[in-house]
Amino acid sequence: MISIEWLGVATFRLTIGDMVVLLDTYMDREPGAPQTGISTSDIDRADFILVGHSHFDHLGGCDRVARNTGATIIGSHETVRLMRDLEIPEEQCVAVAGGERYRLSEDVLVTIFPSQHSCIWATTKGADEICLGEQGMTLQDRNAVLQRRFARRQGDQSDAARIISAYPRPRGEGGPLAYLIDTPEGRIFWKDTSGHWTGILRDIRPDVALLAAAGRGNIDGEPIQGSLSQFMAREVDLLRPRRVVLSHHDDYLPTPSPRKHADTVDPVRAELARQHPGVELVDLAYLEPFAPLGGLR
């Protein structure tokens, strides 16, 4: 029996028989932020932690879960470096870059792929609003935009600004990864930010895709010339799953937060219905157990 629970942002708890696999670990939110009803101190069992990338809203809490459960962390070299800084033993960490296969149990195999982060330097609007331009920028151009934004935030006294600014990220997201989990019941694909390499995604054929819907979509290193909803439809077009479980569309920072749950779900649902009417879109409530592969075979 396979089940998932959404723990907020792109964090899921995946249970496969008696094995527990956490996909990201961010659940300890600031006071004043909408809460999910679970914290890392409630996670008493985990065998593995797969980390999509090392931003705080994904990797946050990983050291606590690893310490409490003894789970093996699989993530980028930057993720492993940050965990080592927090004194997680080297033997509890597996550094990957994409291109590896890792056996989680006798009948569960995970394949790791290099991926892309959403374009945090580029203009982001509502999920159904078209964004254009900002292509061909150098890394220096992108960093300059981020620095200007950071400087503006210095004067912003809101809790949300304080949390984002407080988190050190000299090496950014550390190289995003995507994971394909092969189980006896079917194939589960998970990715925790809105970006991809076309040539990689189009050869993966999962039964169900857990996809992050947030920000300006990244296609092969460039911002989508279109909306977030169109980006999500494109990921479905490349992956061809039968079911999509949405994540990262929730509001996880203290008010005023830029995110509003339904503002993303409804446009994505409408776009998928237009372009991929046979694909089921699942929008889970926090902690609601769901059989991701149920009824697909």
Q: Residue 173 or 185: which CB sits closer to Zn ion?
A: 173
Q: Provide the b/e sequence for 124-142 (b: ≥16 CB within 10 Å).
A: beebbeebeebeebeeeeb
Q: Residue 173 or 271: which CB sits closer to Zn ion?
A: 173
Sole window of 52-60, 83-91, 215-223, 224-232 interacting with Zn ion (rule: CB under 5 A): 52-60
32 HSE (CA, 13 A, CB side): 12
Q: Residue 187 or 216: which CB sits closer to Zn ion?
A: 216
Contact 190, 212 (CB under 8 A): no
**If we measure between CA atoms, which residue out of 92, 281, 297, 76 comes closest to residue 176?**
76
Q: CB of residue 24 vs Zn ion: minimum separation in angstroms?
A: 10
Q: Residue 134 or 280: which CB sits closer to Zn ion?
A: 134
Find the residue with minimal CB distance to Zn ion. 55
Q: CB of residue 48 vs Zn ion: minimum separation in angstroms?
A: 21
Instruction: Please work out the total of residues on this chain that contact Zn ion, with binding judged by CB under 5 A.
Output: 2
**55 vs 153: CA distance, rounded Å:** 18
Sole window of 130-138, 140-148, 171-179, 257-265 interacting with Zn ion (rule: CB under 5 A): 171-179
Q: Residue 55 or 191: which CB sits closer to Zn ion?
A: 55
Q: CB of residue 226 vs Zn ion: minimum separation in angstroms?
A: 21
Q: CB of residue 194 vs Zn ion: minimum separation in angstroms?
A: 10
**If we measure between CA atoms, which residue out of 95, 94, 86 comes closest to residue 67?**
86
**248 vs 225: CA distance, rounded Å:** 21
DSSP state letters, 137-177: --HHHHHHHHHHHHHHHHT--SHHHHHHHHS--TTTT-S-E
Draw the binding track, 24-43, toward Zn ion (x: CB under 5 A; -: no contact): --------------------
Sole window of 86-94, 157-165, 166-174, 200-208 interacting with Zn ion (rule: CB under 5 A): 166-174
64 sits near Zn ion (criterion: CB under 5 A): no
243 sits near Zn ion (criterion: CB under 5 A): no
248 sits near Zn ion (criterion: CB under 5 A): no
**250 vs 265: CA distance, rounded Å:** 9
Provide the residue type at 76 as one letter: S
Q: CB of residue 45 vs Zn ion: minimum separation in angstroms?
A: 27
Preceding peptide of 168 cis, ω within 30°:
no
Partners of 6 in beta bridges: 12, 286
| Structural element, H or E, at residue 64 | helix 62-69
Q: Which of 55, 243, 248, 249 is in the footprint of Zn ion by CB under 5 A?
A: 55
Q: CB of residue 186 vs Zn ion: minimum separation in angstroms?
A: 28
Q: Residue 55 or 276: which CB sits closer to Zn ion?
A: 55
* Residue ranges that bind Zn ion, judged by CB under 5 A: 55, 173
